[in-house]
Structure 1
Amino acid sequence: MSRLSRLFLPLAALMLLLALVPMAAQAAATLKTALQNSGVLILDRPEIRLGDLFDGLPADIAARPVRGLGALEPGAILDADRLESIARDNGLSWRPASPTLALRIDRPVEQIGEESVLQTVTQALAAQGFPTGEIRLDASPGPFTVGRGQARQGLKVADLSFDPKLSRFTAQIGPAAGGEMRRVAGRVIAMADVPVMTRAVGAGEVIQAGDITIQRLRADQAGRSYVIDPDRIVGKTAKRMLLAGQPVRPADLNATMMVQKNAPITVNVVSGPMALAMQGKALDDGALGDTVRVLNIRSNKVLSGVVSAPSTVTVQATSVTVGGGVGAKTN
């Protein structure tokens, strides 16, 4: 063997060895199936790791951050050349199947909708002592998009103003976690709690407490048109059919007659601590609290008293002479 051959052979062997070493160090990788299908990489942390892009990697390599990318903003694109460069720089055996391959970076987000806008404006008005009620926006500010977990922080209000004459407000509103503030404007409609029927009540039927429930209506309508005090409804008689869910107008009600004309009644004659009960006959119809005439059956005298209970009239003895009482008692 010549001297030249003896020098060349070791050099060739060394070059072959050096060529084989990086090949042995390369790890086979495939682009994640989900990325191939969607073309979107959704990240919930600032950095990208190799395992976010490729399958088939050992755990330590999969957890390795991709250097040189930094914190990519949503909408950033990783094209085929960039992906191939990432694979090569990290010793991965991978090449893009198509030169048009591209991945869009996205972040998991949540949205805060109009219901939260209305609640936040209402709370802000109340906190500054302004009237509250139903909020009607001139236009929706649209949903606010925030990062995962930030929706629970809600919204914040700035520059709130209120015109009491017009019941109108303006404000700036945006995510409490930070982000774009948007202008909102609208009006506040005062509301009132109004009794409505829970069931259909027929004409002539006495309305019971369980027949009504409370519903919020516009105050300007409720105060003018409907009975808003439940005590003015319970115990009254429906003048006409009242439908379920329907508010009640004063004209819909009749006072319930607790005493019927010509019907037998109990007359309680009261004098100080003494009370005398006697049988009588009603000469008028009467609801609770009405003043009616009654006939003392034994004395045949006409008395005047107040309806105090069903079939019962209370008479003050100071202004009448009672005859033929039956059963006296002490209060």
Structure 2
Amino acid sequence: MRASDKTAPRNATRNASRQLRMYGLGLAVLVPVLAIGLAATPVSAQQSTARDRVLAPAAALLPVSLQNVTMVQEREVRLSHLFAGVTDDKNSVVDHAPLPGERRIYTASHLYALARQHGLDWRPNSPLDKVAIERASVIVPTEEIEREIRDALASQDRFEEIDVDLFNRGVRIHIPTDRPMTMRVEQLSYDARSQRFQATITAPANDPEAQSVQVTGRVYTLVDVPVLARAVLPGAVIQQSDIVWKKVRQVSLAGNIVAQPEEIIGAVTRRPLAPNRPLRTTDLKPNLLITRNDRVTIVAYTANMRLTATGIAMQNGAEGDVVQVTNTASKKTIQGRVIGPNLVEVGTRGQVALN
């Protein structure tokens, strides 16, 4: 037997022993690792469960930001009025809206409490964080209040045509934009001696959010006066078609206001006059058909003839005025009525002056 043949079994035995030792070493190393892994598995699950308990609410929070100023139309304040980014399913009602025309401030602490209560991911950056909520409204015009007072007074059958003025014209009544502009006059009282009234105005009428204010003012009686329907220039002769009637406050009429159209028609304007304003006697002058020292025609009528003569006007005269004229032939002075431009009519008694 060769030496190599004798050593082969020993080498095989040696290799097998080496492999067994290596395998045993591997098992020795692997078993603790598996043991550590098996022992660590319950600990990892507990930590994961605890972490999930912490993260689950945070994941459910809705990230939002603050609104600045919000104008609300309704009677409620919702989360979306305070926070931007609120979804419909979380848009809960959190408060009653302010009264129409008023504002409410929500501070940082109040906002934070609302955010925590409703699952919103928001914290104040500063104690100065805030949101202003305003209730949208319209202000009732003063003219509408005066109209309601006027109608209420007229319904008492003590007035015919009146106008009213409020003393406290700065009063403000706010009506929500989603409500009709209606009013109710209450506790109306009137003093005939001073022509003053006092009342309470409630608006909107029959509304649970109605506002009530007290108003005071004065009543004015209206009268009809003739006024010009159009603007006229100086020297214009007023015609009947130029006259219309307008209701004005009686107290505003001075003593020189022209109240009858007969005093206007045929008159001549002294200055430019605007329409729809009462005319004063100083605005007009007679439409002179005869001027003093003008040569005029004197005319007299009988049953069978018409007599004429030439004369000199001694006075100015408008149509219908009685003026004195002197017959240039007889030098006699008579009276006649102006009936046209430079034309004077005398009666039968004046016919002798024509000869």
Indicate whether the TM-score tops 0.5.
yes
Partner of 1:118, secondary structure, is helix
Name the CA distance, whole Å, in 2 between partners of 1:252 and 1:311. 25
Q: How far does residue 44 in structure 1 lie from its aligned partner after superposition?
A: 1.6
Counterpart of 1:310 (choices 323, 341, 354) is 341
Where 2:197 maps in the other structure, the secondary structure is: strand
Please tell me the residue identity of whatever aligns with 1:115.
Answer: E
Q: Give the whole-Å Cα distance in 2 for the aligned partners of 1:77 and 1:220.
A: 50
Which residue of the partner structure matches residue 327 of structure 1? none
Q: Give the alignment partner of residue 224 of structure 1, picking from 252, 255, 267.
A: 255
Q: Residues 279, 124 of structure 1: CA spacing in aligned structure 2 closer, same or farther, 3 A cutoff? A: farther
2:327 and 2:333 in contact (8 A); partners too: yes
Report SS of the residue matched to 1:45: coil
Aligned-partner Cα distance in 2 for 1:20–1:254: 98
Correspondence for 1:288 among 310, 315, 319: 319
- Does 2:128 match 1:93? no
Partner of residue 160 from structure 1, selected from 188, 210, 215: 188
The aligned amino acid for 1:183 is Q
Change (3 A) 1:46 1:283: closer
1:121 equivalenced with 2:149 (yes/no): yes
Structure 1 residue 135, shift from structure 2 partner: 3.0
What corresponds to 2:96 in structure 1? 71
CA distance in 2, matches of 1:189, 1:244: 26
Give the partner amino acid of 1:105. Answer: I
Deviation of the 1:149 alpha carbon: 5.1
Contact 1:194 1:226 (C-alpha < 8 Å) held by counterparts:
no
Contact 2:76 2:93 in 1 (8 A): no
2:82 to 53, 57, 61: 53
* Correspondence for 2:16: none
Q: Does 1:265 align with 2:265?
A: no
For the residues of structure 1 that align with 2:332 and 2:77, how far apart are their CA atoms? 103
- What do residues 282-326 of structure 1 show as CA deviations (whole Å, max 9, x unaligned)? 6554321134577899999999754333234456789969x99xx
* Kept in 2: contact 1:270–1:315 (CA 8 A): no
Q: Matched residues in 2 for 1:283 and 1:94: separation?
A: 102
**Displacement after TM superposition at 1:99 (Å):** 3.4
Secondary structure at 2:259 match in 1: coil
- 1:186-226 per-position Cα deviation (integer Å, ceiling 9, x unaligned): 3323355475996885xxxx553399998876524625333
- How far did residue 97 of structure 1 move? 0.4
Whether the 8 Å CA contact 2:90–2:118 is kept in 1: the answer is no
Whether the aligned pair in 2 keeps the contact of 1:47 and 1:65 (CA below 8 Å) is no
What residue identity is the alignment partner of 2:320?
G
Measured at CA, do residues 247 and 8 of structure 1 come closer, stay the same or move farther in structure 2, by a change above 3 Å? Answer: closer
Q: Counterpart of 1:106 in 2: which secondary structure? A: strand
Q: Judge conservation of contact 1:112–1:154 (CA < 8 Å) in 2.
A: no
Aligned position for 2:13: none
The Cα offsets for residues 246-281 of structure 1, whole Å up to 9 and x where unpaired, read as 97655776533313455233748485xx99696754
Contact 1:222 1:228 in 2 (8 A): no
Question: Which of the residues 107, 121, 131 maps onto 2:135?
Answer: 107
- Native 8 Å contact 2:71 2:134 kept in 1: yes
State the partner residue of 2:66: 31
Name the stretch that deviates more: 168-177 or 211-220. 211-220
Distance 1:19 1:198, change over 3 A: same
Q: What does 1:7-18 correspond to in 2, within 5 Å?
A: 7-18=42-53
Contact 2:339–2:345 under 8 Å retained in 1: yes
Q: Is the 8 A contact 2:112 2:122 kept in 1?
A: yes
Asked whether the 8 Å contact 2:289–2:318 carries over to 1, the reply is: yes
8 Å CA contact retained: 1:268, 1:312? no
Is the 1:263–1:282 Cα contact (8 Å) retained in structure 2? yes
Code of the aligned partner of 1:174 = T
Q: What amino acid sits opposite 1:95 in the alignment?
A: R
TM-score, normalised on structure 2?
0.62
> Displacement, 1:144?
1.5
- Structure 2 letter corresponding to 1:264: V
How many angstroms apart in 1 are the aligned matches of 2:308 and 2:143?
Answer: 65
1:256 to 277, 287, 303: 287
**What secondary structure is seen at the aligned counterpart in 2 of 1:162?**
strand
| Pairwise CA distance, 1:71 | 2.6
The alpha-carbon deviation at position 72 of structure 1 amounts to 3.9
Equivalences for residues 147-226 of structure 1 within 5 A: 147-148=176-177, 150=179, 153-177=181-205, 178=207, 179-192=210-223, 193=225, 206=235, 208-209=237-238, 219-220=250-251, 222=253, 224-226=255-257
Q: Tell me how far apart the structure 2 counterparts of residues 99 and 253 of structure 1 sit (CA, whole Å).
A: 75
CA contact (8 A) 2:298 2:346 kept: no
Name the residue aligned to 1:328: none
Shift of 1:120: 2.5
| Aligned partner of residue 127 in structure 2, secondary structure | coil
Structure 1 residues 198 and 14, CA gap change in structure 2 (3 angstroms): same
> 1:129 and 1:96, CA in 2 relative to 1: closer, same or farther beyond 3 A?
same
Identity of aligned residues (%): 23
Corresponding position: 1:144 with 2:169: no
Distance 1:291 1:254 in 2: 17
Deviates more, 1:250-259 or 1:300-309: 300-309
Shift of 1:22: 4.0
* Higher normalized helix content (fraction of residues): 2
